[in-house]
Amino acid sequence: MSVSFRVTSEGGLAIERKLAGLVKAFGDLEPLMQGFGLYLESATIDRFENERGPDGQRWKPSLRARQQGGKTLTDRPQLRSSITSQAGPDSVEVGTNKIYGGIHQFGGTIRAKNAEYLTFRLPGGLGVRRVKSVTMPARPFLGLSSEDENELLALTADYTRQQLGDGA
């Protein structure tokens, strides 16, 4: 079974216009898209450290982070470590292959599929807790911040200069 979700960011209008012009002038932009991907992977991973979404809003702390300390979405490194990019001739995709990435990005309610209750082990060996559902707040980690947009514009300008032979 395959599960996927997609967050599409059209980005700033300035980036869209510049990229359209570059595609027309140079054709295949895969090297630029690879640069975008590396930058956006790093910026996304930084969000786990800062616990803020692309819009700058602080994530709602998780119960575990409040009770045990640490950071939200970083108790285990799997989600953060799964951030990758894939570049093409005129686009780049940045995301995760983790099935639970969508609930963290968008929020939502989790209900038991094959039982009446969800069952959770309580920390410190204090037993288990049974609930009918859990509502997860959105903690967006994918997307473009205004800083990201500025960096992508700077990468685009550098790429253009290199292609025109005006700097290296």
The predicted-structure confidence for 28-54, as pLDDT tens digits, reads as follows 889 999 999 999 999 999 999 999 999
Q: What is the DSSP letter of 111?
A: E
Cα distance between residue 151 and residue 44, in whole Å: 13
Report whether pLDDT(164) > 90: no
Which position has the token pair 């108790």?
75
| Tokens standing for residue 109 | 């309610």
Using 50, 70 and 90 to split pLDDT, how confident is the model at 67? Answer: confident
The predicted-structure confidence for 95-114, as pLDDT tens digits, reads as follows 999 999 999 999 999 999 99
Residues with Cβ within 8 Å of residue 168, at least 6 apart in sequence: 162
pLDDT of residue 14: 72
Cα distance between residue 46 and residue 148, in whole Å: 12
Q: How far from the centroid of its chain's Cα atoms is residue 4's Cα?
A: 14
pLDDT of residue 3: 41
pLDDT of residue 18: 77
Cα distance between residue 101 and residue 95, in whole Å: 9
What residue ranges do the domains of the chain occupy? 13-103+141-164
Report whether pLDDT(168) > 80: no
Cα distance between residue 140 and residue 66, in whole Å: 19
Report whether pLDDT(7) > 70: no
This prediction's pTM: 0.82
DSSP for 115-154 reads SSSEEEEPGGG--EEEESEEEEPP---SS--HHHHHHHHH
Q: What is the average per-residue pLDDT within 70-87?
A: 93
Which position has the token pair 């992508």?
152
